[in-house]
Every structure is written in structure tokens, then in C-alpha cells.
């Protein structure tokens, strides 16, 4: 299976991000990718204004355009967007919350996942503006062509979900061989190290490949390490089921394309049967 990790620097403008994403989808398809994974909040970068003003339903123009791009390219795409959720009261004000959604689309794929674990940490309260999801999602992604065509079970998770091992174990128990993790990881001292550690740990917990795609760090290495919002620190990682790094990006925007051997999943699950022992 060939996976493209699309580490983009995100802007405040959905149409700008959409145009960049469509270009990446074509490039990834031309490189033979089966699956293209974008960051969380690809629709609109965090810390760039209200999310409810850009949120759209799953049949809105943004998601429709992504679906068309994936269909035209013949690849499966997982991309972060926002869609309307509910109204809550916070500090005497009514707030229109959104769902932090992963759209999964492509040949024979039409699904979405709403982020379950919200980022109420490090002084932020995602739950003020985002409504939590409640359902885990595993999709079947077509891989290859002709007589060797098969489907791969791919679990969906988002950013702060990574701090909850049980979610990744449950996805594996539901058949996931690969788990994608779009993110907008906030920067600060030690945050890259935490990101790298958590990605490897969740790969070992679930004995799955993890395709963890973060947004690029705005300002690049010169800004890195300074405490700042959930904007992204780059360092997207493709990790193997034993936690080893297959491929990794740096701080800057990058389209990282790598192949994985899916036979490694049953082999490592036989060697390190943590899922079986957990039963």
C-alpha cells in the first residue's frame, strides 16, 4: 500500500486550502498513492477566526469538491473539515459549535468521523466551539488494481485522540490494519518529542501502521518551539506496527509518499500478540 502524507501549511481561507489540497491529490495520484491523508482543520486553520462561519454540511460545496477531486484522481482521501453541530451557552453567550470532522472519500469510500476527544488542555477549550463525536469509524480502502486489488481496513482518529490508547486498540479490534491521524499539533517546549513518542506508542498499542499527518509549522524552523495555538509543528510520521518510523517530515510543507508492507501487520501481531493477550 502506498500512502501520501500531505503536510500542508494551512490558511484562514477555505478556498485557498481547497485549491492546495486538490493540487496535492493530483500529485499523490500521479505518484501511485492509494491513500492521501491531510491534516486536521484542512478547511480552515485553527486560530484564524470563527469556525462556525465556514462550517458546511457533508453535501456542501467544500466536501463535494473534495469528493470530486478524489474520484477524478482515483484515490482515497482523508481530510479535516468543519460542519455545523449545536448551540451551547458559555459565559452568558450562545455559541454555535461545529463538529471537527474527517471526510473520507474516494472509489467505493464515503464516510466521516467526528473527533471524539476534544482539546481541553494547555489553556485551550476546544469543547467551547466544537461538539464531540461519539462513534469510532473504520473504512475499507481499495488498494492496487487488476488481479491484485484488495481492500485495507483503515481506522480514523484526530489529533488529541492520540493521548487515549484505548481508542486505537478498539480500532484495531474492529479490524484496522492502518490508522490515520490528521492533526494540528500545538507548538511549545517538548511538543515535537511528545508527538513522536505518542505516535510510536499508539502504533505499538494497536499493532497498526499509523499515518500521522500534522499541519506544517507556520514560519518553519525559525518559529519552532515557541508556545502557540493548535497550528501544527509538522513532523508528520508514518510508523510501523512495532513503533519504528517508516518515514518522517520536518517543519516545512511536504508531500511525503511511502510504501508499507501490510503483511507486517499479521506477522507482528503473531510476534507481539498484545491484542490477543488483552482479551
In the chain, pLDDT over 90 holds for what percent of residues?
87
- CB contact set of 107 (below 8 Å; sequence gap of 6+): 70, 71, 74, 75, 76, 142
pLDDT at 211 over 80: yes
Contact in structure between 36 and 154 (CB atoms under 8 Å): no
Sorted by where each begins, the domain ranges of the chain are 2-271
Q: Is 165 helix (H, G, I), strand (E, B) or coil?
A: helix
**56 DSSP assignment:** -
pLDDT at 136 over 70: yes
For the chain, the average pLDDT equals 95
Q: How many CB atoms lie within 10 A of CB 132?
A: 15
Burial category of 59 from C-beta neighbours within 10 Å (exposed 0-12, middle 13-18, buried 19 and up): exposed
pLDDT-derived band at 185, boundaries 50, 70, 90: very high
pLDDT-derived band at 165, boundaries 50, 70, 90: very high
Minimal CA–CA distance to 209: which of 134, 146, 262, 132? 262
pLDDT-derived band at 147, boundaries 50, 70, 90: low
pLDDT of residue 138: 98
pLDDT of residue 148: 66
pLDDT of residue 218: 92
pLDDT of residue 241: 98
**187 DSSP assignment:** B
* Lowest pLDDT segment from 11-20, 27-36, 118-127, 142-151: 142-151
Tell me the average pLDDT across 135-148: 87
pLDDT of residue 89: 84
pLDDT at 269 over 80: yes
As annotated, the active-site residues are: 40, 115, 159
Which contiguous run of DSSP H or E holds residue 84? strand 76-90
pLDDT of residue 222: 87
Burial category of 261 from C-beta neighbours within 10 Å (exposed 0-12, middle 13-18, buried 19 and up): exposed
Cα 201 to Cα 7, 148, 158, 209, 239, distances in angstroms: 21, 32, 15, 11, 10
Say whether domain 2-271 belongs to CATH 3.60.110.10. Answer: yes
pLDDT-derived band at 179, boundaries 50, 70, 90: very high
pLDDT of residue 145: 67
Residue 273 has φ and ψ, to the nearest 5°, of -80, 55
pLDDT of residue 223: 86
pLDDT of residue 92: 80
* Lowest pLDDT segment from 64-78, 88-102, 127-141, 150-164: 88-102
* Lowest pLDDT segment from 32-46, 185-199, 216-230: 216-230
Amino acid at each position: 500500500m502506498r500512502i501520501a502524507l500531505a503536510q500542508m501549511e494551512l490558511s484562514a481561507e477555505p478556498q485557498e486550502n481547497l485549491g492546495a489540497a486538490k493540487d496535492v491529490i493530483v500529485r499523490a495520484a500521479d505518484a501511485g498513492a492509494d491513500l492521501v491523508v491531510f491534516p486536521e482543520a484542512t478547511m480552515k486553520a485553527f486560530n484564524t477566526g470563527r469556525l462556525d462561519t465556514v462550517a458546511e454540511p457533508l453535501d456542501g460545496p467544500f466536501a463535494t469538491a473534495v469528493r470530486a477531486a478524489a474520484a477524478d484522481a482515483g484515490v482515497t482521501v482523508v481530510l479535516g473539515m468543519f460542519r455545523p453541530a449545536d448551540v451551547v451557552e458559555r459565559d452568558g453567550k450562545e455559541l454555535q459549535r461545529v463538529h471537527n470532522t474527517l471526510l473520507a472519500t474516494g472509489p467505493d469510500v464515503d464516510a466521516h468521523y467526528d473527533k471524539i476527544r476534544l482539546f481541553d488542555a494547555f489553556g485551550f477549550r476546544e469543547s467551547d466551539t466544537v461538539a464531540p463525536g461519539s462513534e469510532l469509524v473504520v473504512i475499507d480502502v481499495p488498494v492496487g488494481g487488476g488481479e491484485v486489488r484488495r481492500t485495507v481496513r483503515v481506522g480514523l482518529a484526530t489529533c488529541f485522540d492520540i493521548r487515549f490508547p484505548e481508542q486505537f486498540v478498539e480500532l484495531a479490534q474492529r479490524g484496522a490494519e492502518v490508522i490515520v491521524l490528521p492533526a494540528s499539533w500545538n507548538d511549545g517546549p517538548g511538543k515535537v518529542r511528545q508527538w513522536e513518542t505518542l505516535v510510536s506508542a499508539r502504533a505499538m498499542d494497536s499493532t497498526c501502521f499509523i499515518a500521522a499527518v500534522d499541519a506544517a509549522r507556520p514560519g518553519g524552523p525559525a518559529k519552532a518551539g515557541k508556545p502557540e495555538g493548535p497550528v501544527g509543528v509538522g513532523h508528520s510520521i508514518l510508523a510501523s506496527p512495532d513503533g519504528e518510523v517508516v518515514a518522517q517530515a520536518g517543519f516545512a510543507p511536504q508531500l511525503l509518499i511511502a510504501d508499507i508492507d501490510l503483511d507486517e501487520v499479521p506477522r507482528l501481531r503473531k510476534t507481539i500478540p498484545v491484542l490477543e493477550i488483552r482479551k
